[in-house]
Structure 1
């Protein structure tokens, strides 16, 4: 078996990482009697009835409690006021202090990674300046899970050396939730939407939460890839699962600078399940994707439209004991000299998730040139306990010359890191 080189670095969930989020008042379930108002309207009316001295004192208390835990609290509160104003039809001729206090009543502090941190992917950073010795600056995407099992997308920046050693840049002390660049009046029901990173927030301090109804219970398992078009500059794409609480859909994230993020719904028969992963370039003049639309096997998909995916060809089915329950991808295919290196996940007895690999033909990816008979990474005594035991999983790795850098989730609870020789890995693909 290839020799894995494990890093001592481990990223655990951190309940101290908090952001300000909209607090949605539950709708009234009973008919309102004549003269009664909704709870949201009652709260607004109470703030409107305060004299200015009381209003200033209450806002000062909010700032005292939360001002040193968040950046730009006033900006966030005022943005939230504008949303409430549109929803309730409020007048806009209020002093800023009163607007901010109303907004504060409709916000809350949310610990976005208190429950779990998992399923990373990795891409080269847009800024590679100032590095020497073959080091590469990277961006990790992370699935963070907080209260109510809501999944969001977080990021970490770092540097990886040619031998696979990783050093992450320290997180900023304060995180900020990305906001809608152009929020429509009355809120968002469906995509596409564009999320923006605040000017004061770093990439490592930015969290993307659900915006639309299709996403409202989570943005899950982002598979980032640096895509190189036939002409024009590179673009970062990432497929992810939008979870509404009752149904799932595949969507696409698009960014060039990790400041503005387009969140784009995908359509077609192949986009109705989890686990889609885009190739880093066109194949045969078309976009190409690895999918798992039947929830069991690995498929090869192609399309002329990045957001429309139908049909497909089944290329891999469960074969070995460690993958008999189901197969899926572990991120986008990685182009190497020998072909397309595709990391896979297999589910075996006792629902144990392991990571393996296959090699696909470079010109005809439906041709499987080799696959691992035994998993590359499997749960063991050191990496099996956690939120969901007996699971190791990744949403993407990165080739650094002839070495593969691989971040992966342990028991849906934390992130571990390892690297492996691509030469050794290819020799195991039979």
Structure 2
């Protein structure tokens, strides 16, 4: 099976986002941030402090991943204290002759491994390719290399041929295709190869009728990773989870922060795009990026239980409407601060904002059902 057809047993997604404000913007005079700070990951350090890992963009669209302590005032994230760079495009597969970057980190503390796992986009010679780094302390990050998708004859194609973005791990083991506990990740492959060979397209995998960029899931063998950490880059059993369906997702969708275990299943915040008519992975000038949500089945995360018919957050403030790529809110991280959860998101590809995640039905905080 290349796609698990969802059957909605939950009719609504009972969560909402409440905008808090801008938490980080480019530092005047800092050459590493002259083209913006955006799309961060987050992690708790051994000291208990919350750290932000922004994508920092220098002149020429060269991206690095920084580290900054989050300043919390009266229980709300309000600012950052910069602490330097943790990842730069130092490897040959992270840059080409006219491009370079380590971009858009997503960070998950993966409980079965006791490690922070960072997925990021390596902008190398063949465009964006997902890669992994791991850390015990959030300061030193060890690269494991690019993700490698195992061949699946039923797809009729090789996923390694295509650009892929929006990769993020689940924080816990989930039931895998054979019923055993597996690690799982969301990802967003793109079938268009016109950027590489103009005029030469590529068909979507066998069984995929909607070729718009969509959310997929993949699995990693937990037992193999426990024997050899490098196996964390080996992904198999890939299948589509959700294609664009709602009006605010007309052009494409992609995953955001690490999924959150809630009473209804797995809460996945994602972005939906409208107005984009671009090739490959180019910036979608003229598009509108909004934030939505869906619920995945805890017993089978390939199955969608519900999704929001309308976005939870849309570009409205000046910081979200004006920037390198205007009209964008792009959620990439979520963290608990005290009894509250906050989502960190890119604003117009130039700044970083924060919004509070709350239950829309008044049933309390969106804490997980499992302890």
Q: What does the per-residue CA deviation read over 1:182-218, in whole Å, with 9 as the maximum and x for residues that have no partner?
A: xxxxxxxxxxxxxxxxxxxxxx233421111111200
Q: Distance in 2 between matches of 1:341 and 1:3?
A: 11
Q: Which residue of 1 aligns with 2:19?
A: 6
Tell me the equivalent position of 2:7: none
Instruction: Quote the residue 1:140 is aligned against.
Output: 52
Label 1:3 to 1:248 Cα distance change in 2 as closer, same or farther (>3 A): closer
- For residue 66 of structure 2, the aligned residue among 144, 151, 154 is 154
- Corresponding residue for 1:392? 329
Q: Distance in 2 between matches of 1:316 and 1:209?
A: 32
Take 2:308 and 2:332, find their aligned partners in 1: how far apart are those partners? 18
SS in 2 for 1:340: strand
State the partner residue of 1:99.
none
Secondary structure in 2 matching 1:306: helix
CA distance in 1 between partners of 2:45 and 2:71 (Å): 9
- Within the candidate set 238, 243, 260, 1:334 is matched to 260
Return closer, same or farther for 1:244/1:371 CA change in 2, 3 Å cut-off: same
Moved more, 308-317 or 281-290: 308-317
Q: Distance in 2 between matches of 1:426 and 1:385?
A: 36
User: What SS does the aligned partner of 1:118 have?
Assistant: strand
How many residue pairs get aligned? The number is 290
- 2:29 aligned with 1:112: no
Coordinate RMSD, CA, aligned = 2.5
In structure 1, the partner of 2:4 is none
- Choose from 162, 166, 183 the match for 2:77: 166
Secondary structure class of the residue paired with 2:232 = coil
Q: Counterparts of 1:158-197 in structure 2 under 5 Å?
A: 158-160=70-72, 165-171=76-82
Q: 1:239, 1:417 → 2: CA distance? A: 21
Mapped partners of 2:316, 2:44: distance in 1: 30
Contact 1:270 1:291 in 2 (8 A): no
Runs of 4+ residues over 6 Å off in structure 1: none
Q: Which runs of 5+ in 2 are unaligned?
A: 1-13, 150-157, 176-180, 192-212, 222-230, 276-285, 365-371
Within the candidate set 292, 295, 301, 1:356 is matched to: 292
Give the structure, 1 or 2, with the largest relative contact order (CA under 8 Å, sep 6 or more).
2
Distance 1:10 1:258, change over 3 A: closer
Contact persistence 1:358–1:369 (CA under 8 A): yes
Larger Rg: 1
Shift of 1:315: 1.6
Within 5 Å, give how 1:56-75 maps onto structure 2. Answer: none
Higher strand content, 1 or 2: 2
Distance in 2 of aligned mates of 1:116 and 1:425: 36
Q: CA deviation at 1:160?
A: 4.7
